[in-house]
């Protein structure tokens, strides 16, 4: 992997985005550019995370950041071409191509929220590796979360009522991201959609629910305590519900845990 020289990288990225309106030419040039910066000495696990399931060039993060920065003004000028480019990039079975596709969606004009949601729904399917579905949520939906909260809510609700636990997990992760928004206040809606999990909580979802409850406890502790009390009351005969509440207690702040114990 050659050392990154910023001036050279900017020239290479500028040459790449000249093909912005020709998705296939862009894909071809992107392969060439990423191949130039590919880390051929990469060893799985050395970065502290499992190796990607897709093929990857393992380029350093400044490379993709520069490409995204050069794409942003073009995306705003011609969003229709951006959508075609995102589709072409996602069709390539390479990690960096799909990460770039989600980055493009996350920089689309707010008026194109339906186009963004259509692609996220098509891309996030069982079997998609975790780092990519997280990229779809964090990067691809970042402006939808802020500018179109009702559309984002509909997507979360659709995922949470799915029978497939993959979609349920995606919905919980998307909901946790929603809670991180400083402007978010619709906690009654959160507890309402979570009530669907009272009857059956699969162990595969425990870690996600613990994280979510931790986020709720920090934002609205008393309402969270009341919800957990109701949850435990309705699910007292469900071992997974009892186990989940115990794990939430163990991982909560001392103050929250004490208040929750007092109630239950």
Judged by phi (left if over 0) then psi (alpha if -120 to 50, else beta), residue 45 lies in left
Cβ atoms within 10 Å of 244's Cβ, excluding its own: 23
pTM for the full predicted model: 0.89
pLDDT digits (tens, 9 = 90+) for 175-225: 999 998 888 999 999 999 988 766 667 888 889 988 998 899 989 999 999
pLDDT at 262: 82
Cα dist. 162→95, 127, 157 in Å?
27, 16, 9
pLDDT reported for residue 233: 79
CB 14 within 8 A of CB 70: yes
Please state, in angstroms and as integers, the Cα–Cα distance from residue 251 to each residue in 1, 158, 247, 260, 263, following that order: 42, 29, 6, 12, 17
Percent of the chain with pLDDT over 90: 66
Report whether pLDDT(229) > 60. Answer: yes
pLDDT per position as a tens digit, 10-62: 999 999 999 999 999 999 999 999 999 998 776 655 555 667 778 999 999 99
pLDDT at 76: 96
In this structure, of 32-36, 84-88, 147-151, 225-229, the range with the lowest mean pLDDT score is 225-229
Contact in structure between 59 and 38 (CB atoms under 8 Å): yes
Q: What is the DSSP letter of 136?
A: I
């Amino acid at each position: 992997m050659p050392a990154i020289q910023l001036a050279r990288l900017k020239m290479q990225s500028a040459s790449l985005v000249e093909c912005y309106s020709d998705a296939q030419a862009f894909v071809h040039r992107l392969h060439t550019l990423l191949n130039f910066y590919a880390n051929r000495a990469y060893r799985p696990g050395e970065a502290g995370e499992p190796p990607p399931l897709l093929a990857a060039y393992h380029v350093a993060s400044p490379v993709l950041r520069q490409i995204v920065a050069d794409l942003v003004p073009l995306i705003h000028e011609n969003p229709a071409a951006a959508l075609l480019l995102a589709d072409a990039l996602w069709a390539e079975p390479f990690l960096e191509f799909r990460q770039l596709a989600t980055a493009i969606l996350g920089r689309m004009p707010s008026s194109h929220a339906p186009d963004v949601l259509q692609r996220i729904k098509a891309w996030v399917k069982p079997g998609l590796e975790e780092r990519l579905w997280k990229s779809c949520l964090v990067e691809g939906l970042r402006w939808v979360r802020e500018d179109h909260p009702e559309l984002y809510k509909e997507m979360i609700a659709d995922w949470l009522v799915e029978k497939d636990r993959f979609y349920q997990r995606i919905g919980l992760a998307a909901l946790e991201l929603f809670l991180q928004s400083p402007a978010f206040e619709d906690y009654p809606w959160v507890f309402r959609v979570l009530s669907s999990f009272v009857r059956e909580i699969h162990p595969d979802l425990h870690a996600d629910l613990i994280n979510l409850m931790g986020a709720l406890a920090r934002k609205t502790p008393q309402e969270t305590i009341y919800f957990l009390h109701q949850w435990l009351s309705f699910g007292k005969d469900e071992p997974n519900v009892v186990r989940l509440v115990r794990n939430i207690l163990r991982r909560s702040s001392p103050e929250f845990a004490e208040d929750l114990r007092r109630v239950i």
